[in-house]
Structure 1
Amino acid sequence: MNKTKIPFRTLVGKSIVGNMGSIIGTVTDVVMDENTGKIISLDVEPSEQSPIPPSDDCYRLIPYKIVLAIRDVVVIDESKINKVRIISKRPNAE
């Protein structure tokens, strides 16, 4: 997929849906490579029906490489939803 340049501020607040119809959640933040300026991951706030578990104590990071399209919503490849990283917000927690 040929990805065009998108300002990160336009991503925050967008809904994330899967290519098979699941409502995944909402983009809450963007993780970027500080050297290249490229997006690495999207932090998501899961919806009630999301296959991603909710947690106030963790970040849920969707790898940008599974993003298929960005229009009014962000469309991801649901078959790769297992690649979502869940990371504690507390620096020393495991």
Structure 2
Amino acid sequence: MGKIAATRLRDKMIVTEQGHEIGTLFDMVINEDTGELIALVVEPTTDVILDNMITDKENLVLVPFSAVRAVKDFIIVDVRRIPKKSERVGMFAKVPE
């Protein structure tokens, strides 16, 4: 994936490879030590998303960067790589307070 300015990503729509909307990009989680992009923080478009995906205390969805497949007009993600509430793993094991 090429380089892109973070400001160009703000408010981009996040969609699955099948074209289903997840929400709009609200923020990003970055490792301060390495600069690695860890996750996208997404404002969901529907309550159905909230029922299935891991959220923070503000009901924003956490999408691991490893799920990102392409960034163009939309940010396209592989929904299979997004942990569900029942699959809390890694940094997603603890929901940020």
Q: Per-residue CA shift, 1:12-53, capped at 9, x if unaligned?
A: 1000000012111000001111122221100000112x7520
Contact 2:13 2:74 in 1 (8 A): yes
**Structure 2 residue aligned with 1:52:** 49
Number of corresponding residues: 86
Aligned-residue CA RMSD in angstroms? 2.5
Identical residues among aligned pairs (%): 34
Where do 5+ consecutive residues of structure 1 fail to align? Answer: none
**1:65 and 2:66 matched:** yes
Equivalent-residue separation in structure 2 for 1:35 and 1:8 (angstroms): 18
Aligned to 2:25: 27
Tell me, yes or no, if structure 1 residue 87 matches structure 2 residue 95: yes
TM-score, normalised by the number of residues in structure 1:
0.74
TM-score (norm. length: structure 2)? 0.72
Gap regions ≥5 residues in structure 2: 86-91
